[in-house]
C-alpha cells in the first residue's frame, strides 16, 4: 500500500476516475457526487472543525452563522463541506492549496481567519515573532470521515469493512489517527 499526497480536489477526482484505488478519509455521502466511489461502513476518524484567527480578534462562535460577514476565511481547496457552508451562510472564502499559504495571507492581512482542525493544527500557531493564530471555541461542527474505494474494487468492500470494524474495536484506528496528528503537529513547530 502507498499513499499519494495530492491537492484535495485532484485526489478525489483521481479516485473517482479509477486512477487511484480510493480515498483514505472523506466525508460521509460523497458517493452521491462521485458515483464510482463506494464508502466504507466504518468511520476512520472524526474531528472538530474550528476557526482560527489572530490573537486579539477572537469572538464567540455559535455555528457558521456567527462568522462576521466582513471576514474572509482561508481554507484548503477542495474541502467540500466548507464550500457548501460558505454558500449556505454567505461566507467569504479564499481557497488555497496549503496551510502555509493560508498562514502567509493571514499574516499579511489578505484573509482574516482559517478553518482547520485542532488535531492537525494544534491550539495555537505562531506565524512570526508577533503574530499568533488562536483557535476559537466551540467548534463549528464535528465530522466523521470514511474511506472510499473505486468501483473496480467493490468485491472486497465487505472484507475492508470487516477489517475496519476490528481495527476500530481494538483501538488501532485511534492509535493511527493520533500518530498522524502528532506528525503534522511536529511539522508546524
**Cell numbers given for 31:** 458517493
Phi, psi of 53 (to 5 degrees): -145, 170
Partner residues linked to 48 by β-bridges = 142
pLDDT of residue 160: 96
Residue holding cell 458515483? Answer: 35
Q: Domains in the chain, ordered, with CATH?
A: 8-45+142-188 (3.40.190.10), 47-140 (3.40.190.10)
Alpha-carbon distance of 135 to 54, in angstroms, equals 9
pLDDT of residue 99: 86
pLDDT of residue 184: 62
- Tell me, what DSSP letter sits at residue 123? S
Answer whether the bond into residue 28 is a cis peptide, omega within 30°. Answer: no
Instruction: Give the C-alpha distances (Å, rounded to integers) separating 187 from 58, 153, 177.
Output: 25, 34, 16
List the pLDDT tens digit at each of the 189 positions of the chain: 454 555 777 888 999 999 999 998 888 888 899 999 999 999 988 888 999 999 999 999 999 999 998 999 999 887 888 988 999 999 999 999 888 899 999 989 999 999 988 877 777 777 777 788 899 999 999 988 899 999 999 999 999 999 999 999 999 988 988 887 777 656 655
pLDDT of residue 89: 93
- Quick one: which of 160, 126, 145, 156 has its CA closest to 54? 126
- pTM for this model (two decimals): 0.70
Amino acid at each position: 500500500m502507498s499513499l499519494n499526497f495530492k491537492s484535495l480536489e485532484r485526489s478525489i477526482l483521481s479516485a473517482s476516475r479509477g486512477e487511484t484505488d480510493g480515498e483514505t478519509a472523506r466525508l460521509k455521502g460523497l458517493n452521491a457526487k462521485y458515483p464510482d466511489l463506494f464508502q466504507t461502513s466504518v468511520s476512520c476518524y472524526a474531528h472538530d472543525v474550528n476557526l482560527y484567527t489572530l490573537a486579539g480578534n477572537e469572538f464567540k462562535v455559535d455555528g457558521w452563522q456567527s462568522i462576521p460577514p466582513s471576514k474572509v476565511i482561508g481554507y484548503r481547496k477542495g474541502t467540500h463541506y466548507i464550500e457548501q457552508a460558505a454558500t449556505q451562510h454567505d461566507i467569504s472564502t479564499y481557497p488555497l492549496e496549503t496551510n502555509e499559504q493560508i498562514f502567509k495571507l493571514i499574516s499579511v492581512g489578505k484573509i482574516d481567519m482559517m478553518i482547520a482542525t485542532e488535531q492537525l493544527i494544534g491550539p495555537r500557531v505562531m506565524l512570526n515573532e508577533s503574530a499568533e493564530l488562536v483557535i476559537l471555541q466551540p467548534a463549528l461542527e464535528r465530522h466523521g470521515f470514511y474511506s472510499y474505494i473505486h468501483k473496480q474494487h467493490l468485491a472486497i468492500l465487505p472484507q475492508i469493512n470487516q477489517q475496519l470494524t476490528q481495527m476500530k474495536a481494538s483501538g488501532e484506528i485511534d492509535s493511527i489517527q493520533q500518530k498522524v496528528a502528532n506528525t503534522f503537529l511536529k511539522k508546524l513547530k
